[in-house]
Amino acid sequence: MSILDDGVIAHDDVIERAERWIADDVDDADRADLRALLAKTQDPRLRDIAFAELRDRFSGLLEFGTAGLRGVMAAGPHRMNRAVVITAAAGLGAYLTSELEEARPRVVVGYDARHRSERFAHDTAAVLTAAGADVSLLPAALPTPVLAFAVRHLDADAGVMVTASHNPAADNGYKVYLGGRVVGDAGQGAQIVPPYDTRIAAEISRFASAEGGASAVPRADAGWTVLGSEIHEAYLKRVAALRDPDLRIRDAHAPHLPPPTLGQTALKIVDEPGTQPLRIVTTALHGVGGRTLARVLADAGFTDVIPVEEQLEPDPGFPTVRFPNPEEPGALDLALSIASDVRADVVIANDPDADRCAVAVLDPDWGTYQGAETARSHGWRMLTGDEVGALLGWDVARRTQEGTLACSVVSSRLLGRIAERHGLRHATTLTGFKWIARTPGLVFGYEEALGYCVDPEAVRDKDGLSAALQVALLAERLKESGSSLLGALDDIARTYGLFTTGQLAARFDDVARIGDAMSRLRGAPPASLDGSLVTRVQDLSEGADGLPPTDGLLLLAADDTRVIVRPSGTEPKVKCYLEVTTPVAGTTGAQELGRLRVAAQRRLERLRQELSGALGL
């Protein structure tokens, strides 16, 4: 291998690597993709760009870690493609075989509706079957929670979900769950954590570096089982039982009516003012959750559900959103506009693989007469993940006698207050549901990035569909009592204090700059936060409060303001998690609470400006 003084792969060497990859690749389109890129190296106008792209594609294997695999779809070892998926499946199969010795591994495979997801899933089934595994393949593009449910429901030793979740359309990914006979503790059925990831990665590397690469990996032509609708129906029945544990669906295989059309519901608004049940606007953001969420809500008795029809059916191009992530600005604009038009009670959104759930409500304190008239100017806003986590955690705590409420270290500290008041245990974990789901005695877990686990016995992962139902059930009960989700948040603030959270997220084109930003902050952390003296600086890479080491920095000020800065585990971002607290008297009125929230938001904005400067953004 030829490496230049600056660490860059030499032109001749990267060409040789590309040609060797073409010889070993298993996909005609990927081979053609690389040949086209190599041809551009002969064009003086495109040469530098083409070599930069080639060097990146051949900079190493796409990293397999606790998030599995995730990356842009293209040919080369540092991209998502069939060759990478095949060697990943081979590595997983070898790991399972070594762990189970003489036993035949049981694996269930699922996929979403992104480009190439179905192909990647079938390659995975073919490789694992050839490796001796008993493989079950979900019958269609389905939500990630259905796969996570299937791992435990089928007592599988492993599960694979082909999805890039909320990443841009060009990406795809590969999540791995372990259970059955491989993991027997509270992590059974959860996504992988160390040391499982490093052991599987070592096996993947062995196959990727072997002579012939992916083309040498055996693949069966048949032998796996394509499941029918029974797993999806079992999942739906389990979720429906969250409304009433004794609820029985009359006929799980009976045809269900589609959700009402916008036109039908709009007519009802005029005909029956003031007599409506809970009115819900939903959006799947072009993902796989739309029809399943419609079933979940219908089976639980919700009849006034209005989908954003432009985003209801799966579309891997995500044509109406820039990023298919409910957290991204503009992602919910269509849903909020419809909600404003039809006077909905709540908006519920899932990300493309439906493991996350976003909630929006009409908040008069957020309304403004400035600028263009929109749903947002009227006061429609998305609740933060911490607000939804507090609502669901509070609801669970009131109905639970024992157990543990858990959240990630970057989530609000409010859940801990709620658990303490109700005599429940509270656990703080590293970021990610692979950690939250492993909490012993878990009855509810969440992370601020719109992930909620409301039924850990069935799904050891975040589940945006069962969470959506729990939000709808809570909103329904509150409406029947003359309150609302916002009213419940006011009650929570009066009881526990006002915890207000926000983020500063910076996206980097050059991943190397992320390390530079973190080093800059570690070397010169701010002495104060919004005028309050910093009393604690904790480098999370050294471990803190009993947590394993993780890349991040925690700052705590004398007035209880907290900031945590860490690189994103799934995107080229640095994220700053901000939290300010405000004492609230038990008799504080709604109008005064609105003013306190506005003041807290101003504090968060000042923190964003300070942290932006400290990170050199």
Task: Return the SS3 of 125.
Answer: helix
Q: What is the mean pLDDT of residues 405-433?
A: 97
pLDDT at 252 over 50: no
Residue 245 confidence class, pLDDT cut points 50, 70, 90: low
pLDDT at 251 over 70: no
In this structure, what token pair is assigned to residue 563? 């900031």
Residue 570 confidence class, pLDDT cut points 50, 70, 90: low
Ordered structural domains, the chain, with CATH: 1-59 (no CATH), 61-228 (3.40.120.10), 232-247+258-383 (3.40.120.10), 386-493 (3.40.120.10), 497-614 (3.30.310.50)
pLDDT at 164 over 60: yes
Confidence (pLDDT) at 432:
92
Confidence (pLDDT) at 272:
43
Confidence (pLDDT) at 448:
96
Residue 117 appears among annotated catalytic residues: no
Give me the percent of the chain exceeding a pLDDT of 70. 91
Q: What is the mean pLDDT of residues 201-224?
A: 97
Cα 54 from Cα 129, distance rounded (Å) = 33
Which one-letter DSSP state was computed for residue 64? P
Q: Do residues 114 and 164 make contact, with C-beta atoms less than 8 angstroms apart? A: yes
Cα 355 from Cα 453, distance rounded (Å) = 9
Residue at 103: amino acid letter: A
The mean pLDDT value of the chain amounts to: 90
92-96, 127-131, 139-143, 519-523: range with lowest mean pLDDT: 519-523
pLDDT at 250 over 90: no
Q: Is the backbone of residue 369 left (phi > 0), alpha (psi -120 to 50) or beta?
A: alpha
For 415-432, give one letter per residue: b (16+ CB within 10 A) or e.
Answer: bbbbbeebebbbbbbbbb
Residue 7 confidence class, pLDDT cut points 50, 70, 90: very low
Nearest alpha carbon to residue 86 among 159, 144, 26, 156: 26
Peptide bond before residue 195 is cis, with ω within 30 degrees of 0 = yes
Nearest alpha carbon to residue 553 among 580, 573, 524: 524
Nearest alpha carbon to residue 331 among 313, 306, 350, 307: 350
pLDDT at 180 over 50: yes
> For 512-541, how does the pLDDT look when each residue is reduced to its tens digit (9 = 90+)?
778 888 888 888 899 999 999 999 999 998
* This prediction's pTM: 0.91
Which one-letter DSSP state was computed for residue 483? -
> For 30-62, how does the pLDDT look when each residue is reduced to its tens digit (9 = 90+)?
999 999 999 999 999 999 999 999 999 999 999
Give me the percent of the chain exceeding a pLDDT of 90. 80
Confidence (pLDDT) at 261:
36
Confidence (pLDDT) at 69:
95
Residue 81 confidence class, pLDDT cut points 50, 70, 90: very high
| Dihedral angle, C-alpha 590, 596, 599, 600, nearest 10 ° | -110
Q: Which pairs with CB-CB distance under 8 Å and at least 24 residues apart come from 553-559?
A: 553/518, 553/521, 553/522, 553/525, 554/409, 555/525, 555/526, 555/529, 557/528, 557/529, 557/530, 557/532, 557/533, 558/532, 558/533, 558/534, 559/532
Of these residues, 165, 340, 412, 466, which one is catalytic?
A: 165
